[in-house]
Amino acid sequence: MSLHKHILFVAILTTGGCIGESPENGATGPSAGPDDRLIGGTPADSAALNAVGALGFDANGTGTYQLRCSAILIAPSVILTANHCLRNVAVDRLAFLIGPDAAAPIQVIPARSGVAETPVPGLGGGADIAVVHLTQEVTGIVPMPVQALTEDRVGDRFTAFGYGIQDAAGTTSGTRRSGPMTFLGLQGKIMELIYGSFDTFLAEGVPFLYPNHNPSIPSHLNDLHRLYDTDLLKAGLEAAFGARPGDAQICNFDSGGPITAEVNGTTTVFGLGQFMYRTKRGCDIVSAYAAINPATLDLIARETAAP
């Protein structure tokens, strides 16, 4: 049994389903769906935020782009997005859609090529982050800087952006929104980061997530222990955000959208939307981000220096 982790990237229903086992009573895990907006967020329509854009996919080669993910401009002709947003598509069918409404972009800049973060020794792979080169430079928009996310910021409030699903019913998406999220950690047990202890998880999480599981039944308790102990963040590569009062929640199609904080008065990117947990009520509980790390910074430096 597992809560559905949903990797957030594709806006097409047939491809935007869950990854992993189905949780009970319709619960689903990290999902991939780029057409969801931030739940609990507010419109982010200002032109000053146009470095945050949508990643569109031209499925039929007609020049009509469907929302696939969110993305962020980090250099005049370079964007960052989640690496899983590039899977199973031709990168030259993707484009950076500029403006607060992905269905009516101010400008469409086609993609040329994409490069993923290289594997990190001992961790089995890099972060879920990719650099995408555009066919031309974006003018009139200031790219956002990036910085490594570190544990000393745990407990700080960040701001997330994305074009994903905006309500629990999943009926609206495709416009840029922002919302606050609390940084919970860069490593450890995800359910422990959310609930603090196994006992609190049993008391508060299980009735919500697994109503058909009764902790007084030994086999059910064993399943819940296994879930609690084995659902881990990839240390240094994934970061948990949200699940605190007043926090927003990412959902489908928010993948690749930035989690940001002000650094010396400048909005700075610390991670990209990767997955969230879903139940039948919609996107719930916690948001996970691919964390900017030293390997990411090396990749960005190398690629932005390339012609």
**Which tens digit of pLDDT belongs to each residue from 243-262?**
898 888 888 889 999 999 99
In angstroms, the CA 16 to CA 6 distance is: 9
Asked if 199 and 232 sit in the same domain, the reply is yes
pLDDT above 50 for 4:
no
Q: Is 237 helix (H, G, I), strand (E, B) or coil?
A: coil
pLDDT at 31: 33
Residue-level pLDDT at 296: 92
pLDDT attached to residue 13: 20
Hey, which bits of the chain come out as E strands?
4-7, 42-43, 52-57, 66-75, 78-81, 94-98, 107-116, 130-134, 157-162, 177-185, 188-189, 232-233, 238-241, 258-263, 266-279, 282-291
What is the rounded CA–CA span in Å between residue 74 and residue 141? Answer: 10
For residues 158 and 121, membership in a common domain is answered with no
192 and 252 in a single domain? The answer is: yes
In a shared domain, residues 264 and 228: yes
Q: What is the pLDDT of residue 208?
A: 79
Lowest mean pLDDT among 40-49, 51-60, 61-70: 40-49
pLDDT tens digits, one per residue of 222-243: 999 999 999 999 998 999 999 8
Residue range 29-43: mean pLDDT, rounded = 46
Percent helix, strand and coil across the chain, each to the nearest 5: 20, 35, 45
Q: Which residues face 111 on adjacent strands?
A: 134
What is the pLDDT averaged over residues 28-56? 67
Is pTM, for the whole model, over 0.75?
yes
Domain shared by 136 and 181, yes or no: no
- For residue 58, the one-letter residue type is D
Q: Tell me what the mean pLDDT of segment 213-229 comes to.
A: 96
Q: Are residues 114 and 166 in the same domain?
A: no
Looking at the fold, whether 28 and 154 belong to one and the same domain comes out as yes
- Domain of 115 in residue numbering reads as 50-143+296-305
C-alpha span between 103 and 94 (Å, rounded): 14
Residues linked to residue 179 through DSSP beta bridges, in sequence order: 160
- Looking at residue 3, what is its pLDDT? 43
Answer yes or no: is pLDDT of 8 > 60.
no
Alpha helices in 107-251 (DSSP H): 190-195, 198-200, 206-209, 218-230
Give CA angle at 80 (79, 84), nearest 5°.
130
Q: What average pLDDT does this structure show over 296-307?
A: 89
Is the per-residue pLDDT at 126 higher than 90? no
pLDDT-based confidence at 76, cuts 50/70/90?
A: very high
Count up the domains in the chain and report the number: 2
If asked whether residues 155 and 256 sit together in one domain, one would say: yes
Q: Give the model's confidence band at 275: pLDDT under 50 very low, under 70 low, under 90 confident, else very high.
A: confident
Strands 238-241, 177-185: pairing is antiparallel
pLDDT score at 260:
97
Same domain, 173 and 37: yes
Q: Are 73 and 51 in contact (CB under 8 A)?
A: yes
Tell me the pLDDT of the chain averaged across its residues: 83
Residue burial 212-234, b: 16+ Cβ < 10 Å; e: rest: ebebeeeebbebbeebbeebebb
Do residues 205 and 232 both lie within one domain? yes
pLDDT at 42 over 60: yes
Place of tokens 């922002």: 178
pLDDT class of 166 with cuts at 50, 70, 90: confident
Q: Are residues 96 and 84 in the same domain?
A: yes
Tens digits of per-residue pLDDT, 83-120?
999 988 999 999 999 999 999 999 999 999 999 887 66
Task: For residues 156 and 235, state if they share a domain.
Answer: yes
* The predicted structure's pLDDT at residue 307: 65
- pLDDT (mean) for 149-155: 97
Of the listed ranges 130-144, 187-201, 271-285, the one predicted with least confidence: 271-285
Q: For position 90, which CATH number holds?
A: 2.40.10.10
> What pLDDT was estimated at residue 205?
87
Closest by CA to 57, choosing from 128, 118, 117, 108, is 108
- Alpha-carbon distance of 304 to 301, in angstroms, equals 5
What are the backbone angles phi and psi of residue 9, rounded to the nearest 5°?
-145, -35
Which tokens is 164 given? Answer: 């994903």
Take residue 195 and report the two structure tokens written for it.
């609930």
Angstrom distance (rounded) from CA 183 to CA 154: 5
